[in-house]
């Protein structure tokens, strides 16, 4: 059997290759969809102009609305990230609570710390309607990640849409003692905020959407299959909401593992945003500001 170091290198390399492929597929599909939608929207607009309707007042009205919403958006962002230039601040109570959770777990329950962390995103330099990153990995516990998307135009046929996906990965090693089904409880800490805004109106098709998901998979000889749950799912065509998202979530999965061979537990937080049409905007931010971050300090296994 390969050593643990060899296994770790093989698995983390395969994860990186998998994500790079998904990024390429995401960007290619988005470009193709946007190009098709833009052509349809342009054709429909030309046909509308051919009827003799003056669209200048219509376009000016929606441009003014989009400008107003952009100005108010800056105020909202500052409210949640007033200390954006400060050093990251993790309160001692956070780690004390995690230590107590581990200490009070049943005696036959293991608390495993992460041994791997990485961030992947669908970055596309040519895309001006969305962005995000997750380059700051402070340690295997605390990670910064965020993404945003804004819309443009009237949104007809899905045109003027921005979308972005970030994956935050943690990995945990486990050596089972016996053959059996093991229960796995991942602990995820979310400290951040979300903004979802869309003002659909007459002759427009605007929409905004933000999703935070948690994914779990286990490897031993092969991957056992994904278990996933959305911990935040907010969207709509007429919506204007912004809130902090400060919560701890415990997600459950199980896997049949053999005794004596290393197993790898993969915990992923997905951040997805989408916005279509002028003024539509979606943001998930677990980075900007001294107290905003993501964490997966341990998984419990029994």
With bands split at pLDDT 50, 70 and 90, how would you rate the model's confidence at 95?
low
Tell me what pLDDT residue 132 has.
86
Q: What is the maximum span of the chain, computed from C-alpha positions, in angstroms?
A: 78
Residue 163 has pLDDT above 80, yes or no: yes
Residue 188 has pLDDT above 90, yes or no: yes
Tell me what pLDDT residue 98 has.
65
8 A C-beta contact, residue 275 and residue 282: yes
Tell me the CA distances in angstroms from 121 to 61, 116, 165, 176, 270, one per residue in order: 35, 17, 6, 33, 10
231-252: pLDDT as tens digits: 999 999 999 999 999 999 999 9
Strand ranges, E, within the chain: 110-112, 116-121, 130-133, 142-143, 145-150, 161-174, 180-199, 207-220, 222-223, 227-236, 238-257, 263-276, 281-286, 293-301
How many helices and strands, by DSSP H and E, does the chain display?
3, 14
Residue 202 has pLDDT above 90, yes or no: no
DSSP state of 179: S
User: By CB neighbour count within 10 A (0-12 exposed, 13-18 middle, 19+ buried), where does 64 fall?
Assistant: exposed
- Residue of 193, 254, 203, 221 lying closest to 2 (CA atoms): 221
Q: Work out the percent of the chain whose per-residue pLDDT is above 90.
A: 61
Residue 102 has pLDDT above 70, yes or no: no
Beta carbons within 10 angstroms of residue 224's beta carbon: 19
Average pLDDT over residues 92-105: 67
Tell me the CA distances in angstroms from 280 to 57, 128, 192, one per residue in order: 20, 14, 20
Residue 84 has pLDDT above 60, yes or no: no
Joined together, the tokens standing for residue 208 give 């905004």
Residue 63 has pLDDT above 80, yes or no: no
172-182: pLDDT as tens digits: 999 999 999 99
Residue 140 has pLDDT above 90, yes or no: no
- Per the prediction, the chain carries an average pLDDT of 88
DSSP state of 51: T
Tell me what pLDDT residue 70 has.
74
Q: Work out the percent of the chain whose per-residue pLDDT is above 70.
A: 89
8 A C-beta contact, residue 185 and residue 250: yes
Q: Work out whether the CA dihedral 23, 289, 214, 259 comes out positive or negative.
A: positive
8 A C-beta contact, residue 205 and residue 276: yes
Average pLDDT over residues 8-29: 94
Average pLDDT over residues 148-175: 94
User: Dihedral, CA atoms, 164, 20, 29, 154, nearest 10 degrees?
Assistant: 20
Q: Work out whether the CA dihedral 27, 23, 231, 294 comes out positive or negative.
A: negative
User: By CB neighbour count within 10 A (0-12 exposed, 13-18 middle, 19+ buried), where does 158 fall?
Assistant: middle
Tell me what pLDDT residue 244 has.
95
* Distance (Å, whole) CA 154 – CA 173: 49
Tell me what pLDDT residue 239 has.
95
Tell me what pLDDT residue 60 has.
75
Tell me what pLDDT residue 36 has.
95
Distance of CA 257 to the CA centre of its chain: 29
Tell me what pLDDT residue 170 has.
96
Strand partners, 184: 253, 301
With bands split at pLDDT 50, 70 and 90, how would you rate the model's confidence at 160?
very high
Tell me what pLDDT residue 93 has.
65
Average pLDDT over residues 145-158: 92
Task: Name the least confident of 80-84, 160-164, 205-209, 236-240.
Answer: 80-84
Task: Name the least confident of 23-32, 68-77, 98-107, 223-232.
Answer: 98-107
Tell me what pLDDT residue 217 has.
98
Q: Which of 41-45, 86-90, 274-278 is modeled with the greatest confidence? A: 274-278
Residue 260 has pLDDT above 80, yes or no: yes
């Amino acid at each position: 059997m390969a050593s643990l170091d060899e296994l770790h290198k093989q698995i983390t390399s395969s994860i990186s290759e998998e994500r790079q492929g998904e990024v390429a597929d995401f960007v290619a599909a988005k470009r193709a969809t946007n190009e098709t939608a833009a052509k349809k929207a342009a054709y429909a607009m030309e046909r509308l102009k051919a009827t003799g309707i003056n669209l200048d007042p219509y376009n000016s009205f929606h441009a003014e609305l989009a400008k107003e919403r952009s100005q108010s958006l800056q105020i909202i962002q500052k409210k949640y990230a007033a200390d954006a230039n400060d050093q990251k601040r993790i309160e001692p109570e956070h780690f004390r609570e995690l230590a107590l959770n581990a200490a009070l777990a049943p005696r036959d329950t293991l608390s495993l710390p992460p041994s791997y962390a990485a961030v992947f995103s669908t970055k596309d330099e040519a895309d001006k309607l969305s962005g995000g990153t997750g380059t700051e990995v402070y340690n295997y516990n605390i990670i910064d990640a965020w993404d945003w998307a804004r819309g443009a135009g009237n949104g007809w046929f899905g045109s003027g849409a921005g979308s972005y996906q970030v994956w935050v990965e943690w990995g945990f090693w486990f050596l089972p003692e016996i053959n059996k089904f093991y229960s796995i409880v991942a602990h995820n800490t979310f400290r951040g905020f979300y903004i979802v805004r869309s003002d659909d109106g007459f002759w427009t098709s605007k929409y905004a959407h933000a999703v935070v998901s948690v994914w779990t998979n286990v490897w031993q000889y092969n991957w056992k299959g994904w278990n996933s749950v959305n911990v935040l799912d907010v969207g709509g065509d007429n919506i204007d909401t912004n809130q902090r998202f400060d919560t701890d979530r415990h997600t459950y999965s199980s896997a049949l593992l053999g005794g004596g061979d290393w197993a790898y537990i993969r915990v992923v937080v997905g951040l997805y945003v989408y916005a279509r049409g002028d003024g539509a905007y979606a943001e998930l931010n677990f980075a900007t500001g001294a107290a905003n971050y993501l964490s997966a300090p341990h998984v419990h296994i029994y």
